[in-house]
Amino acid sequence: MKLFKDLRDGYVKWHANKLRIPAFDTSPAVRKHVVFSGKVQKVGFRLELYTIAQRLELTGWVKNREDGRVEAELQGEEAKVDFLIEAMQSLKRASVDACEVTDVPLNGTNEELTIVRQEV
């Protein structure tokens, strides 16, 4: 099982690093709370979101929810956050049925991007 996970994670990172990131005009900083619904767990969705967000220099967190959805808070330039949300909705190996986006207050601390792991 670990071998399969390692292979999948390697593919997900390769795919995320292959994504062409456009040049962005400077935009204001925002923080958005996002909930993705559909087939978004057990397909490398969190890892892909994390890898692309790092490339975009975004901060925040991403986690699986017990109800099968994936939840994230993303902070950075608005154009980059919006690009990431759109990119995640177009993944072929996941199937995003709905995406709820809410603006939330900026986090003023010097946070990093994290994948929140569920306790077993």
Residue 110 annotated to the active site: no
Q: Which of 17, 20, 46, 69 is catalytic?
A: 46
Tokens of 89: 């909705």
Which residues is 84 bridged to in the sheet?
A: none
Helix axes of 45-55 and 78-89: crossing angle, nearest 10 degrees: 150
CB atoms under 10 Å from CB of 49, counted, come to 29
Pairing of strands 113-116, 70-77: unpaired
Q: Which of 20, 64, 69, 110 is catalytic?
A: 64
Residue 46 annotated to the active site: yes
Region for residue 83 given its phi and psi (left: phi exceeds 0; alpha: psi -120 to 50; beta: otherwise): alpha
**Catalytic residue numbers, as ranges:** 46, 64
